[in-house]
Amino acid sequence: MNTRIRTVLSLIFLLFCHWVQAQQNPGNVNTPSSPSSRDSTREVHLIRSDILKFEKKDSVELQVLVGNAVLRQGNTLFNGDSIILNKQQNIIEVFGNIHINDADSVNVYAQYLIYYGDTRIAHLRDNVKLDDGKATLTTEELGYDLNAKTGSYLKGGKIVTSTSTLTSGEGYYYADTKDAYFRKNVKLVDPEYTMATDTLLYNTDTQIATFVSPTTINDGKSIIRTSDGFYDMSKGLANFGKRPAIEDSAQHITADHITFNKNTGEGQAEGNFVYIDTAQGVTLFSEKSHFNRDTKTVLATGKPVMVFKQDNDSIFITGDSLYSGVKADTIFVKDSSVSAADSLIFQPVTPPQDSVVTTREIPAREIERIDSVRFFRAYHHVRIFSDSLQAVSDSMYFSGRDSVFRLYTYPIVWAKESQITGDTIYLYTKNKKPEHIEVLENAFSISRSNDSFYNQLKGNVINGFFKDGEIHHITAKGSAESLYYLQDDDSAYTGANYAQADLINLYFSQKKLDKITWLYEVKGGFYPVTQVPEERRRFRNFKWQEARRPKTRMELFE
């Protein structure tokens, strides 16, 4: 929406106002039927005509003016090829090349005019045009009821200003309430926006436009679709209902109800809010949201769920609140105009005080482009679900720049039968699929063999690597420990292998442990399955937390 809409509709209002004033100024032909009782200031006076005739029709005496006929009523002049003046019934009928001039401020043109003084109704038709110097209305028929103070056209009209054009099938104006009402194929065109609707209401006092039918507004920044609500043009505030939508090339916003500030781009949405980042392929659902159309930020509360869509394994994320924004990301490439021999350039380095100027060598690079990269933050009770991986944490950060999910404060990640915990977990993705997991500090991986036996791996840092959504390689580094139960060909447990080392590698094949390697300061040994020491069965801080694991995507929407 744009402040020009306000200007256009205000000019429309003034156009109607001038027409009303032209009919209500002193000299109005709304006179009593008895000539002797009329106010002389309301009389219509003959200025000139080529021919003046008196005729009688049904016992009514008519004055017929032919050729360059001009009447005056106060400051208003009526011109036409011919005029019939019925003073007894208080009716004026004008034919051909009509021109009404009101104090040199409003000009009205038509081919036919009839005015009923007693009922105070005027009707113009055939190439009707109203022009006040600021706006021009053209239509085939225009009527005005001075008693009800309403004007209307019913066969299509066009209102043109210096910058904008409004067309509609019907138009109405109510002087008492200051309401303008346009119906049927309403279209408002301006260099900065277009608006199309079937019904538009506008009040010139409150400067509020009301929408009661499907409406589309294109302001160059976005397309707004609504079928219910209002827009305060003096303040730039909009209030839309019945699932309005705001969309541009990069985002789509919809909800049951949206309030929006055009000046700042800020808005609030309630009820089944949906935010789609079409560039990133991300959808956000919630009950409530604060957003900014211009900065492309959104804060979703009330059971928010974010979906990273992909072909077979979309990622679903929820939390108490989800926040998303965009950052400028500068993409550099090597300057192709620089030869290999000159691929290094010297750049001055700001020296410390009292030192000489030095230089450093950096590769010559140029900016290829500056992209807008979306990021997401989730706060409190974060849960993540995909078919191949699930997670919980207190908070999360994700950036489209590196496609890394950063999980903070008591994070847990589950992949098939494995549970991974640590102080901080980074989940690296590629094409929205898990590629690498990095666990920082107090890293602990547990996988259940059966209800009694748990394979365990600890270290300061754990790195896991995925292939086709499955973990195929895990490494633990720094005070690493491992305990893995061994099975024979009949899947019977034969024992457990415990070890300590600085670096432990586990390799998997067909979802089963295939090989283990230990490097540097290796300690440990093999225990028969019934003789594993109690302190080895559960590493320190062991905690199997399967109950916290999201089981289905639908849990996140509950």
Place of tokens 């509609």: 168
Q: Which domain holds residue 299?
A: 247-333+358-409
Please tell me whether residue 360 adopts helix, strand or coil conformation.
strand
pLDDT at 536: 84
Give the sign of the dihedral formed by CA 546, CA 552, CA 553, CA 558: negative
| Same domain, residue pair 292 and 379 | yes
- In terms of pLDDT, which residue wins out, 205 or 298? 298
- pLDDT tens track for 222-243: 899 999 998 887 788 899 999 9
| Same domain, residue pair 405 and 515 | no
Q: Above 60 in pLDDT, residue 545?
A: yes
| pLDDT average, residue stretch 422-451 | 87
pLDDT at 346: 35
pLDDT at 342: 45
**Which one-letter DSSP state was computed for residue 242?**
S
pLDDT at 333: 54
Most confident listed range (266-270, 313-317, 466-470, 484-488): 266-270
Assign residue 421 the CATH number of its domain. 2.60.450.10
Q: How confident is the model at residue 558 (pLDDT cuts 50, 70, 90)?
A: confident
- In terms of pLDDT, which residue wins out, 214 or 87? 214
| Same domain, residue pair 292 and 392 | yes
pLDDT at 509: 79
- pLDDT tens track for 30-86: 333 444 444 444 567 788 889 988 988 888 888 898 998 888 877 778 889 998 988
| Same domain, residue pair 300 and 324 | yes
DSSP run (H or E) holding 274: strand 266-277
pLDDT at 183: 92
Q: How confident is the model at residue 355 (pLDDT cuts 50, 70, 90)?
A: very low
The structure tokens listed for 444 are 């602990």
Please tell me whether residue 547 adopts helix, strand or coil conformation.
helix
Cβ atoms 195, 188 nearer than 8 A = yes
| Same domain, residue pair 289 and 302 | yes
| Same domain, residue pair 391 and 313 | yes
- pLDDT tens track for 377-418: 999 999 999 888 899 999 999 988 888 999 999 999 998 788
Spatial CA neighbour of 251 closest among 217, 273, 275: 275
| Same domain, residue pair 381 and 422 | no
- In terms of pLDDT, which residue wins out, 453 or 343? 453
| Same domain, residue pair 380 and 307 | yes
Question: Could you give the angle at the alpha carbon of 191 between the alpha carbons of 185 and 197, nearest 5°?
Answer: 20
The structure tokens listed for 555 are 């849990």
pLDDT at 359: 41
pLDDT at 262: 84
Please tell me whether residue 448 adopts helix, strand or coil conformation.
strand
Residue 480 lies in a domain: yes
Residue 285 neighbours by CB distance under 10 Å: 22
| Same domain, residue pair 422 and 278 | no
Task: Give me the count of residues in the chain.
Answer: 558
Q: What is the domain count for the chain?
A: 2
Residue 153 lies in a domain: no
Residue 208 lies in a domain: no
Q: CA 401 to CA 477: how far, in whole Å? A: 28
- pLDDT tens track for 127-174: 998 887 777 889 999 987 867 778 889 999 988 887 788 899 999 888
Q: Above 80 in pLDDT, residue 8?
A: no
pTM value?
0.73
Question: Measuring CA to CA, how many Å separate 265 from each of 155, 196, 227, 262, 269?
Answer: 38, 21, 20, 5, 13
Residue 308 lies in a domain: yes
Residue 415 lies in a domain: yes
Residue 499 lies in a domain: yes
Q: Above 60 in pLDDT, residue 537?
A: yes
Residue 262 lies in a domain: yes
Residue 341 lies in a domain: no
User: How does the average pLDDT of the chain come out, rounded?
Assistant: 81
Give the list of residues 6+ apart from residue 319 with CB closer than 8 angstroms, or none: 304, 378, 379, 380, 381, 382, 383, 395, 396
Q: What percent of the chain has pLDDT over 70?
A: 83
| Same domain, residue pair 310 and 385 | yes
| Same domain, residue pair 471 and 326 | no
| Same domain, residue pair 310 and 369 | yes
